[in-house]
Chains A and B, each alone.
Chain A
Amino acid sequence: MSDNRIEGYARALFEIARAEGSLDEVEDELFRLARTLESNDALRNALTDEKIPVARRQGIVEDLLGGKVTGTSVQLVSMVVGSGRGRDLPAIIDKLVKRASSAKQLEVAQVRSAVALTADQQTRLAAALANATGKEVNLKVVVDPSVIGGIVATVGDTVIDGSIRTRLDNVKSRL
């Protein structure tokens, strides 16, 4: 899918979420959904397999997200999957999050942690990242067991890696 089309879908989702007055919740929920899709092959295949009827794929979305996220998020994801763009959903969502952050004059800070962060930790981490990068950040936390321990934070092109995974990889490469 071309960047223009992804950008177009992201803009549409952004405008709908903003019109619904649930932009913050929607972008947060969709961001977590995007990361889940990236790490879950079965789910990604189910939403992108053209042999499965569109209605069935939309049903999977509603079963998966219904009651756990806002109705707007469910409808937006269902709309994208229904239009046959399920494969590009993570890219569309990333554009949406970036656009939402830009609207708030924030930089997206994607944080991968082996365990969930408390609200206090997220606040302090956002402040620390803002201090380190000189930009106000929109923190997006992803629980990623492959990190093993510690945190990997990505702000724009800057990656701050304090993960056990990377340290172990360094040790292995030295071995």
Chain B
Amino acid sequence: MSEVEEVMQTHSWIWPEPYEIIFGTMASGLIFGLLIKFVVPLAKKALTARTVSIQAELDSGANDLASAEQEAQDIRQAIGDIASERARILAETNVQAEALLRDGRARLAQELVEIQERGQSEIVSIGLRVSDELRAEISRLSGAAIDQVVRTSLTDATQQELIENFISKVGASR
């Protein structure tokens, strides 16, 4: 066996060298010690914080649930109110519609009476106007006929007679 082979060959195929066991055991203890001293408190602290956070979330969820239930209650209440309001509005609308209908009928009846009266009045007025126009037209035609008759009957002798009569009448007056 050469010198190199002699150095690389251990005394047991499973156990390390004694000094390795010693130093390994010491290093492991040191690492575990450090872990216990520094990491375990941090882990505890993190777990505590996580617990608080989860508890807060649980509380918040409970609050949200209570709020949701309250809102659901309010909504149910509002639905009930809306239904009653709708019923009230419908009832009022019915009353108003009946009143409007009644007023409308009354007004229509009144307007009908007024229209009839106005119609009667206009018929009378038109009758009077037509009568007046007819009378005026007859008068105009009569006047024109009289004018024509008088003008054609006024001879020179008649004109002179009218003038002489005027002079005599004026001369006699004082």
Q: Give chain B interface residues in 103-134, CB to chain A under 8 Å.
A: none
Supposing A115-B156, A168-B143, A175-B139 touch, asked if A153 and B150 sit within 8 A by C-beta, the answer is no
Contact between chains at B171 and A128 (CB < 8 Å): yes
Contact between chains at B167 and A164 (CB < 8 Å): no
Contact between chains at B150 and A125 (CB < 8 Å): no
Supposing A131-B174, A164-B154, A168-B146 touch, asked if A149 and B162 sit within 8 A by C-beta, the answer is yes
Tally A residues with Cβ within 8 Å of B. Answer: 25
With a CB–CB cut-off of 8 A, which chain A residues contact B44? none
Contact between chains at B163 and A121 (CB < 8 Å): yes
Taken residue by residue from 137 to 156, chain A's Cβ proximity to chain B (1 for < 8 Å, 0 otherwise) reads as 00000000000111101000
Contact between chains at B167 and A132 (CB < 8 Å): no
Q: Which residue of B lies closest to A122 (CB)?
A: B167
With a CB–CB cut-off of 8 A, which chain B residues contact A150? 162-163, 165-166
Residue pairs across A and B with CB atoms within 8 Å: the count is 73
Contact between chains at B171 and A132 (CB < 8 Å): yes
| A76 CB-CB contact with B under 8 Å | no
Contact between chains at A162 and B154 (CB < 8 Å): no
The CA-CA distance from A149 to B142 in the complex, in Å, is: 19
| B147 CB-CB contact with A under 8 Å | yes
Q: Which residue of A lies closest to B164 (CB)?
A: A121
Contact between chains at A129 and B170 (CB < 8 Å): yes
| A51 CB-CB contact with B under 8 Å | no
| A114 CB-CB contact with B under 8 Å | yes
- 23 A-B contacts (beta carbon < 8 Å): A113-B163, A115-B159, A121-B167, A128-B171, A129-B170, A131-B170, A131-B174, A132-B173, A148-B147, A148-B151, A148-B154, A149-B158, A150-B162, A150-B166, A151-B162, A151-B163, A151-B167, A153-B166, A162-B165, A168-B150, A171-B146, A175-B138, A175-B139
Q: A121-B163, A151-B162, A162-B162 are in contact. List 11 more A-B contacts (CB 8 A).
A: A131-B173, A131-B174, A151-B163, A151-B166, A151-B167, A153-B166, A160-B170, A162-B166, A162-B170, A164-B154, A168-B150
B-to-A contact residues, CB < 8 Å: 138-139, 142-143, 146-147, 150-151, 154, 156, 158-160, 162-171, 173-174
